[in-house]
Structure 1
Amino acid sequence: MTNLRHLLAFVLLLPLIAGCASGSRATDRDSKEVYQADLSCSYFYYLWGAHAEYDQRFDEALEAYQKSLICDPAANHIEKKLPVLLFRLGETEKAAELLRAGIKKDPDDISQYLLLAHLSIQQNKRNDAIMLYSEVLERDPTNEGVLLRLGILSVQQGELDKAEKVFKRLIKQNPEMYFGRIYLARLFLMKGKIEHAEQAYEKALDLNWSPELVFEMVEFYQSHERYQDMLRLYQTVLDNDAENEQAILGKIQTLLALEKDEEALAELRRLKRINSNTARLDMAISKILLRLGKIPEAAEVLEGIRSGDTASEANYLLGLIAFQSKLGETALAYLQAIDPSAEEYVDGVYLQIRIMRSLDMHHEAVELLKKATENPKSQTPVFYALLSSIYQEQERVEEAMASITAGTRAFPKNDQLHFEHALLLERSGLHKKALSAMLRVLELRPDHPEALNFVGYSWADQNINLNLAYQYILRAAELEPDNGFIKDSLGWVHYRLGNFDNALEALLHALELEPKDPHIYVHLGDVYRALNRVDDARDAYRRGLEMFDDENEKGPLEKKINELSTQ
């Protein structure tokens, strides 16, 4: 059929071809006849180009239009088609060149400015596009589309004040300009003009209510915790579409934020009547019932959804309910039913370990964690840390070390596992290895406050790398300003650096935060001693001595007190 259509078109155009050919043999004696022949030729190729353009054969259309212009160079309407076709063919530079030439030739043709501006935006030449739109406005000051585009481009260029002027000009010109209000509202948000943004949004909503705009405004009000306004907006959606699930769920979340749990529960139950996914809704209902303290009712709902997609979450919540009711064995039964691939599995195992520890089921806890760490689908850093901690409680140090080491191999970039490894090495008396492990922690997480403090204090205690030790401890104190142990380290490194007044200030602050740590009193005594405040030093040492239980700690401290007695 397509071939037949092309054949018929060719046959119909034969007279035009003949006219074009005869025109080529005409003489100057009849210039009017020659001109008509050129028009016929031009029209033939124009029809050809239009037909090809319609069929999206742009290369062919471009060639036909170019031939049409050869026949009639004055055909401006055809000339202006060329940059459009070049743009469609991806020849943007050539298209832009033709448009610039066209603008010089016909500076009042706005369409050429607009297309060139569009090309400039595509080439990421936004300033050029802004200049072109400004030129259009000089010729057509009330062009709303150009004003809107100019404002948007100004925002993209970070010229917010200029954009504000453009949008305000647009709205002054047409107070009913819906998109002008929306873009102005968004601009006010960017500039932190919250009240202005609210007014612009509300005006836009008055001009043209739509659920899309409502949900955008809801995000705006949510960011400022304007929950009553959120409820008002959600209700406008529900007034138009009572079954709009997004609005219902949004209303429920807002009611929960307002602690209107009973109203949220009523909305959920209403949604359940119109929604087929009742299991997920029952899950949400059970959580609200738990918030309301209606434990038996929540448990009943959860028992009904212990299958399908909600099975693991339901079992976890039922296990949690049983645990809080001190029904350990029942809780374990629920928790053991959680699928290892489920999101709740890690929390479920953690809760099982808590229960097993409380029931002296240490062997079962170890076996559970060994199984969890051996399964690639359920491996997680916390399982290795938990297993190591249980071994440490049982004074099975080698197994504890093996577990945490296996964890660092399985998760080599997990800074917390390396930190736990370092602490275990320190407890085992392997200080050099512990220090090396802590430095590895800082490679993974340079702002780890405990690791910074450990490394800095270790160096200060050894009286090495003091300037770097000070920087580490100072950074740790910035990260955790209320940590008394870090303040103690800061005081100690000041002491090593000879900054005794600063050391005293830091240690007194440390004692305010940790008044029962004997080591801080020892450090304080050393600082008082350096300041030649003998009585204060003696009092600090004695306070520390009273707090120490370890005889190995008491011996050196008693020696310091005796030394002061001779002064």
Structure 2
Amino acid sequence: MPKHTLTALAMSSLLLLLGPAQAQAATPASAPAVQNSDLDAPLFYQLLVGEMELRAGQPGVAFQVLLDAARRTGDSELYRRVVNIALQARAGDQALIAAKAWRESVPSSIEAHQTILQLLAALNRPSEVAAPLQSLLNLTPEAQRNAVLASLPRLFQRSPEPARVYSALAPVLESASQQAATRMMALLVQARMALSANQADKALALTNSAAQDFPNADEVALMAMDLMPERPAAEALISARLQRQPDNHVLRVAYGRTLAGMQRTADAAREFRLVTQAAPDSAPAWYALGALELDLRHPEEAEKALLTYLSKLDKLPAGDAEAHKDSRQQAWLLLAQVAEMRGDLRGAEGWLAKVDAPQRLMEVSYRRASLMARQGQLAKGRALLQALPAERDEQVRAKLMAEAQLLREVQQWEAALAVLEQAGQRFPEDANIVYEQAMMAEKLNRLEQMETLLRKVMALKPDHYHAYNALGYSLAERNLRLEEAKSLIAKALQYAPSEPFIVDSLGWVEFRLGNHQEALRLLRQAYASRPDAEIAAHLGEVLWTLGEREEALRIWNEGARRDPKNEALRETRQRLKAR
């Protein structure tokens, strides 16, 4: 006879007891002979009592009754049922008791060991993890051990004590790294856990070890990408990997996205250009390139890439094209910005008219308001934003922030600050709103107010590196408290080591301190990653001061082509009388 589980037999028997008429109706005229099962009368009664207690709202009693039955029978499905009863009752400790009993009853059960590990993670008991993890690895077939290791970072990602988790797992992972079949995965999992525990140097060392032994593994390069924001040296591993395999487009796309996330827009665009050249049918690469070119203020290049992206979508089968509906609408929004950047306001409105997705209403309304403001209809643009729905907090916040941004665009600093203060009253603990208030106070030359607000941001969100950078840069710009300014910017760099605008700030404070060569090095680095007009203003001034006036003019002219209205660039050239 086929093997039935005890709980399945119990439930079928319950159906017979509760509905004999239906059961009889379902019985064939010539039923086969009934075969005996392991379900004796006392056990059946025990299961029945347990299920009835559960239905009566007594999960604690049901847990005890059914756990006893599971211990008597050693049935894995019954143990699974008991664990789930405890979890549904939010009794994690009881679930762990059941899982451990399951392991004792069925020592070869991989599922029992997995359940114990999952429960220990959920209960935040990392000190107890090593033994069950090692047992699980020992039970797991060698070909599947890497999957067990790979699941660990995700399993413990919500732990409030990542350092304790890393410390507890390290001996097991170190042991696994000594075995050929699991070495690479064990090293990379150690690296990821070390990074979570704020041990970035250790994570980099482990990733370097993995790269030395497995130089052609994409997994190693992907780990290096995760390390890049905190340890720029990790980028060398990725560069070396792509030099060995330049046609690895999947890896290059991931690298490009990492660079974009670090605000290294020019570097990211370079990678996506390479992808589109080598794999011109890659629609997502064209989309990414278009967005990056727009951010770099290259309207012609952005338009070409985005139109190419749309043409690729048009060639897809209907089902695939539908899956890209949202990104198609986002491309239209970007093309509207391209047209606006080129002064083609009618063309911009034409692209906006195509966007009909409800979730894009805020973006479309903002772009329309921006077009109105450019045509001298600021009040009409504000009214458009103010009329948007505001049923939920996030809608209220988005409306206020959009209106403030619109006012910033037209340099209405006082009005923008008033809107942001209104937002701050509604959302007093929102660090980003407070930060934007500080930026408007700085525009109004209210330096004490700006500093007070930025220090509030630091208190609300100690890792808000933009606040440290903004205060440090503002002090450096005014030649005030330069050593403190440098310290603040250095702290920002601890959180975002390669962020071009922060590197620019550090270069600027070095210039103010008289360290011209160091300033030049840093500003060249920042400008290469992000050729922004304000960075161009700073780099050009350092070059001008050092006598490199031809190069300074070239840099300034590049910046002016990208952003003709940039205040910093215009003020710098006027002050230095550079034409």
Task: Tell whether the structures are fold-level matches, with TM greater than 0.5.
Answer: no
Higher RCO (CA 8 Å, separation ≥ 6 residues):
2
Normalising by the residue count of structure 1, what TM-score does the alignment of the two structures yield?
0.43
Normalised TM-score (structure 2): 0.43
Q: Tell which structure's C-alpha radius of gyration is larger.
A: 1
